[in-house]
Amino acid sequence: MKFHKEGYASLLLVLVFSAILIFIAHYFFPTFAIAHWFAYLLSAFLTIVIVQFFRDPTREHKKGDNLIIAPADGKVVVIEETEEAEYFKGKRLQVSIFMSPINVHINRYPISGDVSFFKYHPGKFLAAWEPKSSTDNERTTVVVKHKNGTEILFRQIAGALARRIVWYCKEGDKAEQCGQMGFIKFGSRVDLFLPVGTKLDVKIGDVVKGSQSVLGEI
């Protein structure tokens, strides 16, 4: 297991905070053992939280030319036909994956192809499970066009805790199935918009793993 590059700044901040906290405990309360233990335990807790959140586990990626692979770890919270108004401007099958703070937060391409559209939207920070978070929250919109002509749109959506979305793609890039396309910090959601009639292999409530779980076929 590796530590993801997006976590270096957060880890450094926690380590600096921990060093200051431990210094204060020893300098101002030299004989107060409880203060020392509190500083050590809080520092250890914060460090563990950061390390587990930004973990990058080694995985055997599930790949298949006609498979749609989960772009993130989490729970499937939405499967429904909806109107996608930004790019397709028509009916699509929406599949939403909610990522809790304990999930791996790396985002991956669900299919291989060409990045035919990309846009970043600043916005609010509603709870990620709120329906309006899909259109009102800070988010990115990415469309990948498969070699058979099928296009899949997916969005990184910030949540109430997620205050930074990171992406590694732009229009014209080649998308490699299961390759990293971004990261969302501290709780979030990913929406996929698939052609109506797409055969799905998941249902609401299923827990999926990014780059390993098959969502359906195109």
Q: What are the residue numbers of the active site?
A: 188
DSSP annotation of 71: S
CB-side exposure of 163: number of CA atoms within 13 Å?
Answer: 2
Return the SS3 of 28. helix
DSSP annotation of 110: S
38: tokens are: 């509190």
Other Cβ atoms closer than 10 A to 83: 11
The single-letter code of the amino acid at 120 is Y
**8 A C-beta contact, residue 146 and residue 94:** no
**8 A C-beta contact, residue 190 and residue 71:** yes
Q: Which residues are CB-neighbours of 31 under 8 A, at least 6 positions away?
A: none
**From CA 3, how far away is CA 44, in angstroms rounded?**
17
3-state secondary structure 178-203: CCEEEEECCCEEEEEEECCCCEECCC
- Kindly state the helix (H) or strand (E) to which residue 104 belongs, with its residue range: none
**From CA 99, how far away is CA 155, in angstroms rounded?**
13
